[in-house]
Structure 1
Amino acid sequence: MSHETHRSLEKDGFRAFLSVDDGQVVLRSRRGTQMAPAFPEVVAGAAQLPDATALDSELIVWNTAGRLAFEQLQNRLHRRGPAALQAATQQPAHFVAFDVLRLAGTTTLTWPYSRRRAALEELFRKHQLTAPWALCPSTTDPDTVHEWLTSWTAAGLEGVVFKRLDSLYRPSARGWLKYKVRETTEAIVGAFTGPTTAPRTLLLGRYDTVGSFQYTGRTTTLPQTVGRTVAGLLTPAEACHPWTGWSFSTGWGSRETLDVALVRPELVVEVGVDVARDASGRWRHPARWHRARPDLSPTDVTLFNSPG
């Protein structure tokens, strides 16, 4: 067996499993949530597949700017009936297949990935699958991977996933490893959580083109030594802080709010972020602490919702 590593693009979507048996379509998430009622276009598209077939994939939605729109995909989960049909027209989902679990009644779980990938490609060729079906790009060429990472991430692709060509499909195990594109960038500390002597996380912002201080994301939990150092660089806010009266959620999509302390928006910090953004341009995943940049001023920081 070959020990060569296969790479596929990592997309900003939902992991999804689809099976079709005697005309009955099952579409579920990795956690087992039934998603078929929310995505009627995917269910209808199953007529293109041979019976007794099951695929592993990523569900994605593109926005009008040509970027992956995770928030639009998430909003579609709760729609049913006419609302789901309308969303399927306005925000159509695509089923990006990267593995096959069963093919026309034949179980493929014990096949090495190289054979499953070949069977998946043949499925697309033989049946000339069209939307909502898409075949996930794949390669074993490192130069091609580098090109993906430098050109395709502008559309919201988070990186690549990879596995060995001789690997089997193990339903209960995480078979793919991920490499996410991350970059370091600057932001301004506008608030923090945790004790004043050692902040636990930092709430970060950037100014927009009209001079308003916009929230752009929160850091992961800081090491205590870093928190104590940062505490000495922060100044409590005055009453005119631009975030006075704002509330901040504990995580993307959560309704639970944070207990925060506002500070003067003057300390610049460098953080590591990935390419995932929400519709407003905020970082959807927590930023990783890199270092404080007291040598920079807020005017040196990239404007909100600009590249970088």
Structure 2
Amino acid sequence: MQLPVMPPVAPMLAKSAKKIPSGMHYEGKWDGFRSIIFRDGDEVEIGSRNERPMTRYFPEVVEAAREHLPPRCVVDGEIIIVTGDHLDFERLLDRIHPADSRVRELAERTPASFLAFDLLALGDVNSMEHPFEQRREALVGALADAGPPVHLAQATTDETEARRWFDQFEGAGLDGLIAKGLNDPYRPGERTLVKVKHDRTADCVVAGFRWHKSGGVVGSLLLGLYDDAGTLQFIGVSSAFPMKRRAELVEELAPYRMDAGALAEHPWADWARAEAHEGARLPGNQSRWNAGKDLSWEPLRPELVVEVAYDHMQGTRLRHTAQFRRWRTDRDPKSCTYEQLEEPVSYDIAQVLGTQPTSTE
């Protein structure tokens, strides 16, 4: 492979903002795997956010790149999987599997798509120093004849349209907007983009915690909500605490800790049984990203309620880490159900992918 931009390349990142900035280029914020595709003829490599190759996990995307991308190019984008009319991040996680036979089986059963939104190189031209407006125009031209499963990201410079997308696209599984400066060059690894995400709160049951990797202080709180059957479902974690606060949490959680003999009474007592993870999301499941990561946890009596801020739900779980707001001693844990969550109006993902994008003018 001989390209003007060679792997690995760290993708350009985004910093958070509370409101949509004015005078920029806007795209939906896709819930997938950030990927940079390098193609030189039949040679294709898929890079990731951590700069590790992901080529082996998405053979169908490799074939799609050969069919739909220019013969020599470097394209930044997102690998996504669509189930029904929604993005399905869980099915992406399934792909991080050591067995090639399993990966290829899933590639046929739930094929992935590639959504392109930036052009780093085309032919012998390195475009990274070009202003984004110019890179976008070149990308539109380069993908003029592309078809599914390769898509060009829908985009606009109309702030009113962007606000409409922010409200509507969430119903298709997108979790906000990305804003890009029209004159900005491509800066690998730098947070020069702007992301605007939905901000909501929920009252959750704290039914366990994990120790911090440094030891002796709390690393994360394990959160749960009751479903219609009255079962406490694990939905995610809250983990962004200053070190002083982590130490305080040890004392605050101490009265609710359970010894090993009482674990059988805990709603997540069967987390260690592998088959339990087939039908429920439980806190002891192995990390697909780091098989050696310690995901052991300490059970708590499910009597504590915490208010957390979250941005996006993926099915029955929090897509990202929740932010601790405050203890809710006034809430009955049994009242912490999925009914409190705001559900976005359904929006067909095909409409997001199928609308013909326009170049920035």
Alignment of 1:242-253 (within 5 A): 242-244=267-269, 246=271, 248-249=283-284, 253=288
Give the alignment partner of residue 55 of structure 1, picking from 70, 75, 87: 75
Deviations 1:245-276 (A, max 9, x none): 5463499645522341412x233221011215
Q: Is the 8 A contact 1:214 1:304 kept in 2?
A: no
Q: Is the 8 A contact 1:187 1:269 kept in 2?
A: yes
Aligned: 1:192 with 2:209: yes
Q: Which AA in structure 1 matches 2:204?
A: A
Partner Cα distance (2:318, 2:236) in 1? 5
Partner Cα distance (1:257, 1:49) in 2? 40
The worse-fitting range, judged by mean Cα deviation, of 230-239 and 32-41 is 230-239
Aligned: 1:134 with 2:151: yes
**Secondary structure of 1:267's aligned partner:** strand
Aligned: 1:88 with 2:107: yes
Deviation, structure 1 residue 61: 0.9
Q: Is the 8 A contact 2:28 2:169 kept in 1?
A: no
Aligned: 1:210 with 2:245: no
Aligned: 1:302 with 2:340: no
Partner Cα distance (2:201, 2:311) in 1? 9
Alignment of 1:174-189 (within 5 A): 174-189=191-206
Q: Is the 8 A contact 1:10 1:160 kept in 2?
A: yes
Deviations 1:216-256 (A, max 9, x none): 22212445469469828964559333234546349964552
Give the alignment partner of residue 269 of structure 1, picking from 296, 303, 306: 306
Deviations 1:11-31 (A, max 9, x none): 111111112223322222233
**Secondary structure of 2:317's aligned partner:** coil
Pick closer, same or farther for the CA change 1:198–1:112 going to 2, 3 Å.
closer
Tell me which residue corresponds to 1:74: 93
Aligned: 1:241 with 2:266: yes
Tell me which residue corresponds to 1:231: 252
Partner Cα distance (1:216, 1:157) in 2? 19
Q: Is the 8 A contact 1:249 1:256 kept in 2?
A: no
How many residue pairs match? The answer is: 299
CA RMSD of aligned residues (A): 3.3
Tell me which residue corresponds to 1:286: 321
Partner Cα distance (1:270, 1:284) in 2? 17
The worse-fitting range, judged by mean Cα deviation, of 37-46 and 53-62 is 37-46
Deviation, structure 1 residue 39: 2.1
Give the alignment partner of residue 260 of structure 1, picking from 294, 298, 313: 298
Q: Which AA in structure 2 matches 1:69?
A: D
Pick closer, same or farther for the CA change 1:25–1:259 going to 2, 3 Å.
closer
**Secondary structure of 1:41's aligned partner:** helix
Partner Cα distance (1:173, 1:95) in 2? 23
Which of the pair has the greater relative contact order for Cα pairs under 8 Å at 6+ separation? 2
Deviations 1:260-293 (A, max 9, x none): 1412x2332210112153x6x2224221111222
Give the alignment partner of residue 190 of structure 2, picking from 163, 173, 193: 173
Partner Cα distance (2:127, 2:112) in 1? 26
Deviation, structure 1 residue 99: 0.4
Partner Cα distance (1:130, 1:84) in 2? 23
Deviation, structure 1 residue 302: 2.5
Deviation, structure 1 residue 80: 6.6
| TM-score scaled by length of structure 2 | 0.71
Partner Cα distance (1:84, 1:232) in 2? 41
**Secondary structure of 2:178's aligned partner:** strand
Deviation, structure 1 residue 164: 0.9
Q: Which AA in structure 2 matches 1:266?
A: E
Pick closer, same or farther for the CA change 1:51–1:261 going to 2, 3 Å.
closer
Structure 2 unaligned blocks of 5 or more: 1-21, 273-282, 344-361
Partner Cα distance (2:342, 2:103) in 1? 33
Partner Cα distance (2:208, 2:50) in 1? 35
Pick closer, same or farther for the CA change 1:179–1:96 going to 2, 3 Å.
same
Pick closer, same or farther for the CA change 1:251–1:114 going to 2, 3 Å.
farther
Structure 1 unaligned blocks of 5 or more: none
| TM-score scaled by length of structure 1 | 0.82
